[in-house]
Amino acid sequence: MSIRELLNPSNSALILIDHQPQMSFGVQSIDRQTLKNNTVALAKTARIFNVPTLFTSVETESFSGYIWPELLAVFPDQQPIERTSMNSWEDRKLVAAVKATGRKKLIMAALWTEVCLTFPALEALAEGYEVYIVTDASGGTTQEAHDMSVQRMIQAGAVPVTWQQVLLEYQRDWAHKDTYDAVMDLVREHSGAYGMGVDYAYTMVHKAPQRQL
């Protein structure tokens, strides 16, 4: 297995780190509503393709607040792994949960990029994992902090991706009808102009009835 091998639902796991209110308040590198849209869409991608997904949070009740409810709603039975360390890879519970997935390709997104994404990404790389950082589901305290941290992780061997890239890399072939409808629904809900184009094609080209929300 190597970074040249495409991501697929059976070779990867998703780790979502510290998407909590207090962490969100400090984000300046991306519009925060866009950040939420992208992160929730990434989680829904994992749900559609049955990809093992882990949530971890830091100092929930004493500082950071609960993980966004829209994110938790995607996996309502998932219990976030609570910790005190800024570096989630220093938490034995998280590392054990990662090992239990049996996956070597780790897709990570976090707040903030320069701390809660960079630290575990570097540690996981050092332990032989392949790390894919979802840059548009992560945010830094400044644009420079985000960009320099992404560069640091790339130099260490991490692979930058976006949430929609992960979605389409998993789908790969529109002939995969078992996930096609769910992917199209996700695109229409979270992909902006791309989703609008899908609606247009369905209704104006293929003459599907107008959807009622």
Tokens of 163: 């949430």
Q: Which strand (E) or helix (H) includes residue 181?
A: helix 177-190
* Nearest Cα to Cα of residue 138 among 156, 162, 169: 162
| 116 included as an active-site residue | yes
Annotated active-site residue in 13, 30, 40, 116: 116
Look at the alpha carbons of 113, 115, 118, 124 in this order and tell me if their dihedral is positive or negative. Answer: negative
**Do residues 106 and 13 make contact, with C-beta atoms less than 8 angstroms apart?**
yes
**Do residues 31 and 138 make contact, with C-beta atoms less than 8 angstroms apart?**
no
SS3 35: helix
**Do residues 170 and 9 make contact, with C-beta atoms less than 8 angstroms apart?**
yes
Cα-based distances in Å from 53 to 32, 106, 146, 198, 200? 22, 10, 24, 28, 33
Sheet holding 159-161, edge to edge: 81-83, 53-58, 12-17, 105-110, 130-134, 159-161
List active site positions.
116
